[in-house]
Structure 1
Amino acid sequence: MVSISLCMIVKDEEKTIARCLDSINSVIDEIIIVDTGSTDKTKEIASNYTEKIYDFEWKDDFSVARNFSFSKSTKDYILWMDADEIINLENKNKLIKLKENLNSEIDCISFQTYVSVDESNNPKCICRRNRLVKREKNFKWVGFIHEYIKVDGSICDSDVYIIHNKIKNNENRNLDIYKSNIAKGNQFTDRDLYYYGKELYCNKMWEECIKTLEEFIKRDPFIEEKVDALCKIGRAYINKGQSCIGREYLYKTFEYDEPRGEIIFSIADSFEKERKYKQAIVWYEIILGLELPNDCNQCVNVCCLRFTPHLNLCICYYEINDIAKSYYHHLKCKDMNPLNECVIKNDEFFKSIIKKVD
């Protein structure tokens, strides 16, 4: 059976680090904690699990810190996690089996990450990332932000998934790092520019987002990134109140790949925002006819593929006075996530209507 080092970089994670380590502690053989400047009880809590805690001066570069954490490991394989991530019992058991049966010829194993979950613990967004790597291969992290492990070797996709359960909001941390690099005159790689544009989008800086991602598209990137960039530009225009221009960018994605549920959702949502409910209904219904992806090598917003279309169809059908279909889609939502606040309110509303009819 192989041995595993858990390597983490942390800062001010007193609210989450015990939860994370409790969830994984019994599976791994070594814990490496690299602290980048905590002022709370993070290190004190971590000391209950390991003596291998190292201070590291933060350099606005996640890869540098992660590579330092990897350098301190001593076991066969290295697993990385963030402090706001956990592994539940089901997946802990999967990881134990993986550890017991892992072919040592495999250099890297990817896990799925549930980037966020809903009130009923269903995944809202899923992606796959390289999580477990062979230490002797000395794989390195690349990128000062939105970093990734550059792997050159045999990779195996596992069915293990880790749940990202954020408590702390880092607000403008990522954007500040990008701005700092711009101020220093550092040149952005294509990947840096792409993620900078996405960060601008997340911070609702629509004009800068559009300008940055337009520049990125001119660099003729991979189709996957081009499609996502076009989608973000389209959404930025829609959020600016320019839905017609926004939809043109969304339609353009169809030239590069088959229509994707998330992009169709953006089109539907734009019509709904304009109160063009019949058009919105057509697009939302198309989404429900698409098959769900079997795996998620790229981040997929699962919520946009099933739950939210049903929720929005409930609203759209009500607006055109088709109460039966509105109620049908409400029941679909209730079946998927009965604890959702909107579902609870809608349920109360429909019950009041039924009482009036009775």
Structure 2
Amino acid sequence: MEGKEISISLCMIVRNEEITIARCLDSVKGIPDEIVIVDTGSSDRTKEIVKEFTDKIFDFNWIDDFAAARNFAFSKATTDYIVWLDADDVFTESDREKFLKLKKSLDPLMDVVNMPYLLAFDQFGAVTFSLRRNRLVKRSRNFRWIGAVHEYLEVYGHVLNSDICVTHKGIGGDDSDRNLKIYKKRKANGESFSPRDLYYYANELSDHQLYSQAIESYQEFLETGKGWVEDNISACGKLADCYQKLEIKDKQLEYSFKSFEYASPRAEFCCRIGFYFLSAEQYEQGVFWYKLATQLEKPIDSWGPMIEACWTWLPHLQLCVCYDRLGKHELAYEHNEIARKYRPENTQVLYNKNYLEGVLGKSKKQEINKELANNLEEEVE
């Protein structure tokens, strides 16, 4: 028996979003029963556009605190559940339809629904970078946003892991110094940073190419021993990146390995280490790490950032390079063909194919392709 359909408030904070806000609100058609828009100081047509979708528009005096603004928006909701988006987010039509089905079928005992957040795509439209966010929450739980910058929604209770995706469609042109300025202002005021603040402050420093300062903040974050495991792992990757920019290679490798202290090896770090050895022309070591990346089981419902290439085609492409340098052209061709199944139009993959077919000759190529086809059939069976 189908239960009662839940009611939903869409709560958003906006400022100068005239380019994206209509696209966002068009994409949610039928999902929210009310739309609550909190404007933090627009000087463009944002509010004028929003009036076509809702009359629940509120002004909020900006105080350099994203959590405060989001909590204010949540306080204006009146329905069973609250969903939140940013103005440059959308639901695709297929995800909108999934959400409408969820609206009719969601167990009212459920407190939280989290959803994948798709952040980057390749030229073919395939997702290259994603993570999960708590996206739909029961209003009566009074969940709160925490953190002036890079805020998060503190939740508990019954949680549903959904496959309904939110797609980020940024257009660039944001005030890229805004978050860093907020952190520096807080620091100048003598505010004590939480481990999470240290991590995100380090991210801002790194994004602004202040690598030495970023390293200090990442290290301070890890030394607290109180970071979320996914942030710990990401910090190791960010530290490796910073040391790579500063051309300090031993530290680059050290922090790639340090990620294994927090969780079993991830394909992203195996590829990092593989690239380190490939760049050093230590091809056997490169083979070991890239091969390990191909053997790992991709986590389901992971909350950490996922670089899809590292779990699919990239390690095979790099194995092709390593094996070619080792003179093992048949193995190089095999792995390039596997990469080609994922990325049939990739220029590097096609170049490798033509080059290796020239090295191997037609008969050997056909023999390898036949063996690969047989192996794939066995996997399917």
1:218 aligns with 2:223: yes
Residue 9 of structure 2 is matched in structure 1 by 5
User: What TM-score, normalized by structure 1, do the two folds share?
Assistant: 0.89
- 1:174 corresponding residue in structure 2: 179
Specify the alignment match of 1:153 in structure 2: 157
**SS in structure 1 of the partner of residue 165 of structure 2:** strand
Output the amino acid matched with 2:240. Answer: G
How far apart are 1:330 and its partner, in Å? 4.2
**Correspondence 1:96-175 to 2 at 5 A:** 96-170=100-174, 171-175=176-180
Which of the residues 194, 212, 231 maps onto 1:207? 212
User: 1:329: Cα distance to partner?
Assistant: 4.1
Alignment correspondent of 2:69:
65
The whole-number CA distance in structure 2 between the counterparts of 1:223 and 1:149 is 14
Give 1:290 shift.
0.7
- Match for residue 28 of structure 1? 32
Matches for 1:65-104 after TM superposition, within 5 Å: 65-104=69-108
**How many pairs are equivalent?**
355
Q: In the alignment, what sits opposite 1:47?
A: 51
> Unaligned 5+ residue runs, structure 1?
none
Query: Is contact 1:112-1:296 (8 Å) kept?
Result: no
With over 3 angstroms needed to count, the CA separation of the structure-2 counterparts of 1:188 and 1:348, relative to structure 1, is same
> Displacement of 1:287 after TM fit?
0.3
Local SS of the residue matching 2:171: coil
1:252 matches 2:258: yes
Q: Against the structure 1 CA distance between its residues 328 and 152, is the aligned structure 2 distance closer, same or farther, given a 3 Å change threshold?
A: same
Please say which structure displays the higher CA radius of gyration.
2
The 3 A distance-change label for structure 1 pair 274 and 206 is farther
RMSD of aligned Cα (Å)? 2.6
Structure having greater relative contact order (Cα 8 Å, sep ≥ 6): 1
Corresponding residue SS for 2:160? strand
Whether the aligned pair in 1 keeps the contact of 2:196 and 2:227 (CA below 8 Å) is no
Distance 1:37 1:317, change over 3 A: farther
User: Could you give the per-residue CA deviations for residues 50-100 of structure 1, whole angstroms, max 9, x where no partner exists?
Assistant: 222223222211101111111121211110011111111222122111110
The answer to whether the Cα contact below 8 Å between 2:222 and 2:232 also exists between their aligned partners in 1 is: yes
Partners of 2:352 and 2:332 lie apart in 1 by 12
CA apart distance, 1:272: 3.1
Aligned residue for 2:164, secondary structure, equals: strand
Residue 370 of structure 2 corresponds to none
Q: In the alignment, residue 59 of structure 1 is paired with which amino acid?
A: I
Q: Which position in structure 1 is the counterpart of 2:200?
A: 195
| AA partner of residue 335 (structure 1) | K
Q: Distance in 2 between matches of 1:118 and 1:7?
A: 30
Return closer, same or farther for 1:274/1:151 CA change in 2, 3 Å cut-off.
same
Q: Is the 8 A contact 1:117 1:165 kept in 2?
A: no
TM-score normalised per structure 2: 0.84
Cα gap change, 1:205 to 1:271, in 2 (>3 Å): farther
Contact 2:114 2:133 (C-alpha < 8 Å) held by counterparts: yes
1:42 to 1:267, Cα distance in 2 relative to 1, 3 A: same
Distance 1:239 1:323, change over 3 A: farther
- Partner amino acid, structure 1, of 2:83: L
Which residue in the other structure is 1:306 paired with?
312
C-alpha contact 2:161 2:301 (8 A) present in aligned 1? no
CA deviations on 1:247-306 (whole Å, 9 max, x unpaired) are: 122223334432222222221222233344443232112101111111112222223222
Inter-CA distance 46–89: structure 2 relative to 1 (3 Å threshold): same
Q: Which runs of 5+ in 2 are unaligned?
A: 363-381
Supply the AA of the counterpart residue of 1:211: E
Q: 2:242 aligns with which of 236, 242, 250?
A: 236
